[in-house]
Structure 1
Amino acid sequence: MQDLYDVRSYGAKGDGTTVDTKAIQRAIDDCFAAGGGSVVLSGGTFVAGTLFLRSNVYLQINASAILLASPHISDYPDGTHYNRYVNEKDMDKCFIYAENAVNIGVVGQGEINGNAESFPNEGSIDRPMMIRFLRCKNIRVTGLRLYNSTAWTTAFLDSENIWCIDLDIRNDKKYNGDGLDYDGCKNVFVSNCKILGTDDNLCLQASSKDYPMKNVHIANCHFTSICAGIRIGLKSVGDISNVVIHNCTFENVWREGIKIECTEGGSMTDIIAQSLIMRNVTRPIFILLNNRLDVIGSSVGLTEMPEIGRLERITISDLIATDDEEMFNTHYRFTDDVMGSPSFNGIRVDACESHPIRDLTLRNILYTSAGGVKKEDIPAEYPKVYDMRGDHSEKVSENYYPTWSRTTFMDVRNVERLSLDGLRFQALREDTRESYRIENCTMIKEEIKEW
């Protein structure tokens, strides 16, 4: 059995101009037919449209090679699934795709480039994602430079046993610049990755009750994002559980560092994040339990307003978050999309009073906030989280509103069995707001210091 399939032997030019899709696909198909192996790109820039990966086949991009997305949307056929956000239903094209495959990988020390400059910036079907795998098992994406995707870099859907290791992801040219996105996956291992993007760097979601998101390990990664560093939820029709985040750094994240939001009726339980360093992160911690439907980002499969789900057994510990002078600026995504400002920053935890978060621990947190906001500049009324199936105020506290914080450092509402241990706060500039608020919580322990 032949193990290595050099795409040049199939007629691929690798000259940066010729579209080599057919040659690369023939190599993949022959490798699959022979029982598996590696399809190798080396010594050139190989332009291609959609490539369909098969079971037992590894696409290997060597250090001397670049796999460059074709600038022609006609090179990206249909049949590569769809994006599961109702507000992004048109972004269904894909560069590298696999479905119902096992033992697959995209590996090497080379570069995959999405050619973002050749495509529109937002709201168009003419933006193929870089990698999408649907219902696959035993997946490895390792060692690569994943640059300039036109939308999300990766989407792993309803899959299991996934290793994403030693990746350099840069997705800062277009809207929807996510890094690693997992929906309904189990046994996920992410380590030694550096992610830069215009949207969430890493997402864990569950848009179906049939495919829970569980057994996730994230370690030794660095995040820089115009939106969130690590986002758990929003799409949470199904359950998300057993998540460990360890030894990670966050720098220049204009919305949230760790963002946990149970919004679509499922449950999120057993999540630990520890040993984290954050520099210039507008909201180091954001945790919210609510319900929603007809707003940005709801799951395609969600047809009616869900009952509020469960958010339980969450621990965040050993965190140092530090602002510097940069955080006195208002930060934008591209020209006019405000992502963060001094009045927006702080730790926020909130839920509907009738559906509290349970068993939340915040321990050993040293937070130096920018501060400098005057109390009179903040609206007096801070909206509540409501059960949206019943009567509610016109102004509702939810995932993107309000865009200000009641307190300088931390605002926690509606938690049963809350433990605050070893929290220390300070501000760079005097702030006339309250330093922190704890409201409608049953406490296990409370130790907070300011200086």
Structure 2
Amino acid sequence: MDMRLGVPEDHSLTVVALIRAARVSKRLACSPILALFLGLLPAHAAVFDVAAFGAKGDGKTLDRDAIRKAVDAAAAAGGGTVYFPAGTYLTGSIQLRSNLTLQLERGATLEASGDASAYDPPEPNQFTQFQDFGHSHWHNSLIWGDGIENVAIVGGGLIFGKGLGRGNPQGAGDKAIALKLCRNVTLRDFSILNGGHFGILATGVDNLTIDNLKIDTNRDGIDLDACRNVRVSNTSVNSPNDDAIVLKTTYALGAARPVESVTITNCLVSGYDIGSLLDGTYKRTVKQAPDRDGPTGRIKIGTETGGDFRNITISNVVFDRSRGLALEAVDGGRIEDVAISNLIMRDVSNAPIFIRLGSRQRAPEGAPVSAIRRVSISNVVASDVDPRYGSIISGVPGHDVEDVKLSGIRILYRGGLSLDQVAKQPADVVNAFFFRGGVPAREPYATPEREKEYPEPSMFGLVPAYGFFIRHAAGVELSNINVAYMKEDTRPAFVLEDVKDIVLSHIKAQKAEGVPEFKLISVTGLSIDPPQ
């Protein structure tokens, strides 16, 4: 089988070639050779050219109804390939069906209409109180599927969300692709420009393959919510205003369902100006995301964490002009058994590593405090890093981040800050977006807890360590760590507070004259190798 098209190997490409020729030659369209070849294929391999159902592809005519007719015909035949030849297809909602492939030919663009009436309405959902509107509805999207299986969207074409909103309940469609409770889904080889609230929202999807996509969008790129057995590979996501690839566990399905068995590998995430990934200019003129920190464009586990996350690997990823890696458990779910390796980061707009256990508890009453444990992060090289936050590993009083191992980490910060600035929290340096009223002055090592607040490195203001700030943690191991700065920074490299059983091995840290490398506050079970 050729998994790219969902039809027998070689047959799919031959059929598409014959259809192209048939569009040129009416004689071939009636050819007994073509008829014989199509007759030899199983029913699910039939190809349905949207042009044959009235689609104009001129970028002006609303082609939604013609596309729906092609999809209906494929569904009635038991499945098949809905084929989009080169052209611009202005459309509203397209509902996917089981055993269906959308094939976007190179030069084919699905363009989201700005007409709200072209989209299906958001379906009723009684479980909306613990996540926002965008996470809670799927049908009001450009392409959506609900409870289907054996589905693919493939080809070298473009999905352009020109008319999509960004999560406004009163608006038109608000997502490029939304999938709910589906199985055996493949998304491969196409591009998304301006995908609305989500380029791809997959909720409760099992056996999902995302490969060789390019997503250049104005909010989240790929959201994997309560999904199992997922492979994301060879994909580039540019999302300066929000997260690039993010794993979540909301209550949108009515219960806390885990994210598990996920692999993310060989990807780029970035915060270039919107559109400049796809056009190859990689512009860097936008300085801030809506929350007033630098461009986002990162990989994140969280923030919505009602359910558990387990058996996750992330490897071979480039972060460019983006925020760093974030693991955030704040709503009752557990993050455990995670292995992350081979990350390169440049022009990092906040903490390169942010591991936050909090107790926001956006969850049903009685939900436990979250947990983070058995996390391994290795072989990370980060340069030109925002100096305000260092890297952060932080639990909350009585609930430690546990069993985190970091090895082979090299981070070059911009530097240039001092403990005096940490005490004063100057308004021209601190991002006060998450403080609602400004960041008060404080003693330099009196970092506020803020356990119920939205998790983001800037939630603490300036932190007292330029390298690593570790608090409320147990069983942490740091080995082969190298931190330095581009401009002298007079904060300690490491500040450890309420940390138990920590192993430090082969640590190298640049430091200013007279400044300690470590500041230890209520630390027990410290082991340093080699001894210092």
Relative to structure 1, the CA distance from residue 262 to residue 178 in structure 2 (aligned partners, 3 Å threshold; closer, same or farther) is same
Q: Which deviates more from structure 2 when the two are superposed, residues 439-448 or residues 16-25?
A: 439-448
Select which of 310, 316, 323 maps to 2:371.
Answer: 310
Select which of 212, 216, 222 maps to 1:166.
Answer: 212
Higher relative contact order (CA 8 A, sep 6+): 1
Q: How many angstroms apart in 2 are the aligned matches of 1:303 and 1:369?
A: 40
CA shift at 1:386, angstroms? 6.4
Q: How many angstroms apart in 1 are the aligned matches of 2:465 and 2:124?
A: 44
SS in 2 for 1:162: strand
User: Gapped runs of 5+ residues in structure 2?
Assistant: 1-42, 272-294, 424-441, 511-532
What are the within-5 Å matches in structure 2 for residues 21-32 of structure 1? 21-32=64-75
Amino acid at match of 2:159: I
2:449 paired with 1:385 = yes
Q: Which residue of 1 aligns with 2:80?
A: 37
2:166–2:174 contact (8 Å) kept in structure 1: no
CA shift at 1:257, angstroms? 1.6
Amino acid at match of 1:304: E
Q: Which residue of 2 aligns with 1:151?
A: 197
User: Gapped runs of 5+ residues in structure 1?
Assistant: 328-341, 389-395
1:114–1:148 contact (8 Å) kept in structure 2: yes
Q: How many angstroms apart in 1 are the aligned matches of 2:454 and 2:90?
A: 47
Amino acid at match of 1:53: L
Q: Which residue of 2 aligns with 1:285?
A: 353
CA shift at 1:86, angstroms? 5.2
2:382 paired with 1:321 = yes
Q: Which residue of 2 aligns with 1:408?
A: 466
1:292–1:305 contact (8 Å) kept in structure 2: no
Q: Deviations over 1:234-281 (max 9, x none)?
A: 21111110000011100101xx32100110111110011101100011
Amino acid at match of 1:100: G
Q: Which residue of 2 aligns with 1:339?
A: none
If each structure's helix is expressed as a fraction of its own residues, which one has the higher value? 2
Select which of 469, 490, 494 maps to 1:436.
Answer: 494
Q: Which residue of 2 aligns with 1:102?
A: 149
Relative to structure 1, the CA distance from residue 136 to residue 270 in structure 2 (aligned partners, 3 Å threshold; closer, same or farther) is same
Q: Which residue of 2 aligns with 1:267?
A: 334
What are the within-5 Å matches in structure 2 for residues 66-215 of structure 1? 66-80=109-123, 88-89=132-133, 92=137, 93-115=140-162, 118=163, 123=168, 125-126=170-171, 128-172=174-218, 177-197=219-239, 198-208=241-251, 209-215=255-261
Amino acid at match of 1:102: E
Q: How many angstroms apart in 2 are the aligned matches of 1:228 and 1:404?
A: 22
1:362–1:419 contact (8 Å) kept in structure 2: yes
Relative to structure 1, the CA distance from residue 307 to residue 407 in structure 2 (aligned partners, 3 Å threshold; closer, same or farther) is same
Relative to structure 1, the CA distance from residue 287 to residue 21 in structure 2 (aligned partners, 3 Å threshold; closer, same or farther) is same
CA shift at 1:121, angstroms? 6.3
Q: Deviations over 1:95-146 (max 9, x none)?
A: 100000000011111101000xx46667563252111000000001100011
Relative to structure 1, the CA distance from residue 90 to residue 242 in structure 2 (aligned partners, 3 Å threshold; closer, same or farther) is closer
Select which of 365, 368, 376 maps to 2:409.
Answer: 365
CA shift at 1:378, angstroms? 1.5
TM-score by length of 1: 0.86
Q: How many angstroms apart in 2 are the aligned matches of 1:409 and 1:98?
A: 45
Q: How many angstroms apart in 1 are the aligned matches of 2:454 and 2:46?
A: 56
Q: Which deviates more from structure 2 when the two are superposed, residues 208-217 or residues 30-39?
A: 208-217
Q: Which deviates more from structure 2 when the two are superposed, residues 132-141 or residues 24-33?
A: 24-33
Relative to structure 1, the CA distance from residue 46 to residue 398 in structure 2 (aligned partners, 3 Å threshold; closer, same or farther) is closer
Q: How many angstroms apart in 2 are the aligned matches of 1:4 and 1:262?
A: 45
Relative to structure 1, the CA distance from residue 59 to residue 315 in structure 2 (aligned partners, 3 Å threshold; closer, same or farther) is same
CA shift at 1:440, angstroms? 2.0
Q: Which residue of 1 aligns with 2:314?
A: 245
1:97–1:133 contact (8 Å) kept in structure 2: yes
Amino acid at match of 1:257: G
SS in 2 for 1:344: coil
TM-score by length of 2: 0.74
Amino acid at match of 2:330: T
Relative to structure 1, the CA distance from residue 289 to residue 277 in structure 2 (aligned partners, 3 Å threshold; closer, same or farther) is same
Amino acid at match of 1:238: G
Select which of 49, 56, 59 maps to 1:16.
Answer: 59
CA shift at 1:439, angstroms? 2.0
Q: Deviations over 1:71-116 (max 9, x none)?
A: 111111214577968573268431100000000011111101000x
Select which of 284, 301, 325 maps to 1:258.
Answer: 325
